[in-house]
Structure 1
């Protein structure tokens, strides 16, 4: 196949239900004994003001993760025809079925809705926050290689399904720790006030879409640092118990991020400073200052770093879907112009995997 270019020619997202403010979280997720102090501390720390859940106040799901993903594609189809895609990739943290893969069932759901009715090559990506970004890199490379002219990529999360009080069964070892933050109980319970539901979809083509702005893929970079860091965030297959060790996170995330970015820009002869804006996946505003230092460190003038943009406060932390949800909202604001360069940065704390995607806005 003749290599070609790859462009993001469409983006859309879906956040289910009505916005849920902080004081209404437990109305949807229920209440666990002893969690109120955790709730107040975590919400004060993370800076999230609202989020969305694909379930009602009786903890009955309104969608599953495949349905959330299909809703995002339906919104994309209203903007750009995606039925011609011959490559479908997707990523999520939790799916109710371990197999078939996420993309396989999503393909069937899209067919049922008349959104992607033909045969397609598929790629299902598992993981934590970088699973969908890894799926996106794969789709971009499939188009850039010339093997496919049109590809569709979807990131979706249904965190409420494993975090609601009728499903979660945290190990209660609080009496074994002087500091509750060191307990396995805390490592699962605090995530109830961190994560929420949502999905996004991107259309990729080998040429820009006529009459508008497309995003040319300049380069992608993805690296795992699992060889030098312990497990930090896990989702157990048997129990569907999600947990994160925040002490491992604080020790390993930012040193690994520094090494990753230095490697990425050296390999691609580029820099953060050559970009107009960074869109970073952040789980919490608690990490804002550290993220700013990481970005500034890679800029020619650290005193005047490349700005960054996030919708974490108002869209919530949608995990693997967040970079899709973020890019869609940013593009809809209409502030992007030809020549602008965007940098998508997705760090994952599962066992420290990172994805970086460099884009340039072009008009046709």
Structure 2
């Protein structure tokens, strides 16, 4: 089989960085009041800035697909005509602009210069970007494609705005109940960010400059054991099952904010770290790899709260990672879901720090129903 190399990386973020003190200027005040949970969540996640694809006045500036297309075009900024050589576009997101058509073909619609090519759209949440990369990786390994682009993007911000919760709040007021949205809905408003990243994957490394050889990509799901933890377009029932938006009336959808993103915070804290990172030891053993081989550890985390939790589990499993090997940009970029790992790789790749032979381990947990993806790459 051919080897597969990431030869170029790019990212796109919309507009200006939004600081913590400006967040509600963009997101709005629910029922005219500042959030009770905002300070607590920000103190734990330690995010300092993030990006939104709309203005302070609430005017959209980019769609999800458009941001992804701009990241793809950036891969070919030095030679725009080369984009015509792409023969695969593989794109992941958890916040598509529509249910159908697929996210990937909508991105392709912004890239008419590519001509007619294969397009695939892995669904999921944070792991969707890694699934997109694995499809590109496998296509190059099998020598089925020559120039594959993997991309990941998110546009969470419209689902975080206060007007998405207004009908629910008014319903609570009518029922003479506490007019605050529940913590499972408010929690993610202070963590999520918009943006996109893209990789060019080829069968040969760059003739000059660094490339990243993809040694392996592996993953696992625990949905057979655990109920949903993060969800959208559904309501969680008392027995832990999800009731689809399709089974609610339009009035119920508004009253329950069914299309807001929700997080079962208690379940998240109990399960997200141990399930995946206990399994990492098994994956490393199966691949004949050890943490001693790793020079950079890039964990996708939604909050710095989980940093010490991951460290503890790695130590318990006999695969500790010294802190000087950790690399993340959560504080400056926010949680960009499926695109976060792309943005971390882009920042490290363009930092000038990498040396030939160094190994990079990517770790992407997904809390939606507890899925995990891991990838080992070598700088060549």
How far apart are the structure 1 equivalents of 2:361 and 2:127?
15
Judging changes above 3 Å, is the alpha-carbon distance between structure 1 residues 303 and 266 closer, same or farther for their aligned structure 2 residues? closer
Which has the higher Rg, Structure 1 or Structure 2?
2
How far apart are the structure 2 equivalents of 1:326 and 1:8?
14
Match of 1:38 in 2: 37
Unaligned runs of 5+ residues in structure 1 are none
Match of 2:288 in 1: 269
Judging changes above 3 Å, is the alpha-carbon distance between structure 1 residues 170 and 320 closer, same or farther for their aligned structure 2 residues? farther
Match of 2:52 in 1: 53
1:1-364 matches, within 5 Å, as 3-33=1-31, 35-79=34-78, 81-111=82-112, 114=113, 117-168=114-165, 185-236=182-233, 238=245, 239-297=258-316, 302=320, 304=322, 307-362=325-380
> What whole-Å deviation, never above 9, does each CA across 1:47-105 have from its counterpart, x for those lacking one?
00011111001111100100111111122211574431211111111112111111111
| Cα shift at 1:125 | 1.5
> What whole-Å deviation, never above 9, does each CA across 1:328-352 have from its counterpart, x for those lacking one?
1111111001001001110000001
Q: SS of the residue aligned with 1:218?
A: strand
Q: SS of the residue aligned with 2:187?
A: helix
> What whole-Å deviation, never above 9, does each CA across 1:273-294 have from its counterpart, x for those lacking one?
2110111100001111012223
Instruction: Using structure 2 for the length normalisation, give the TM-score.
Output: 0.87
| Cα shift at 1:295 | 3.7
Q: SS of the residue aligned with 2:281?
A: helix
> What whole-Å deviation, never above 9, does each CA across 1:220-250 have from its counterpart, x for those lacking one?
1011111111100001164422100011111
Unaligned runs of 5+ residues in structure 2 are 235-244, 246-257
Aligned alpha-carbon RMSD (Å)? 2.2
Q: Is the 8 A contact 1:129 1:320 kept in 2?
A: yes
Q: Is the 8 A contact 1:170 1:185 kept in 2?
A: no
Q: Is the 8 A contact 1:170 1:189 kept in 2?
A: no
Q: Is the 8 A contact 1:260 1:354 kept in 2?
A: no
Q: Is the 8 A contact 1:299 1:306 kept in 2?
A: no
Q: Is the 8 A contact 1:273 1:298 kept in 2?
A: no
Number of corresponding residues: 349
Q: SS of the residue aligned with 2:39?
A: helix
Q: SS of the residue aligned with 1:322?
A: helix
Judging changes above 3 Å, is the alpha-carbon distance between structure 1 residues 209 and 233 closer, same or farther for their aligned structure 2 residues? same
Q: Is the 8 A contact 1:174 1:185 kept in 2?
A: no
Q: SS of the residue aligned with 2:182?
A: helix
How far apart are the structure 2 equivalents of 1:275 and 1:295?
13
Judging changes above 3 Å, is the alpha-carbon distance between structure 1 residues 303 and 145 closer, same or farther for their aligned structure 2 residues? closer
How far apart are the structure 1 equivalents of 2:148 and 2:270?
38
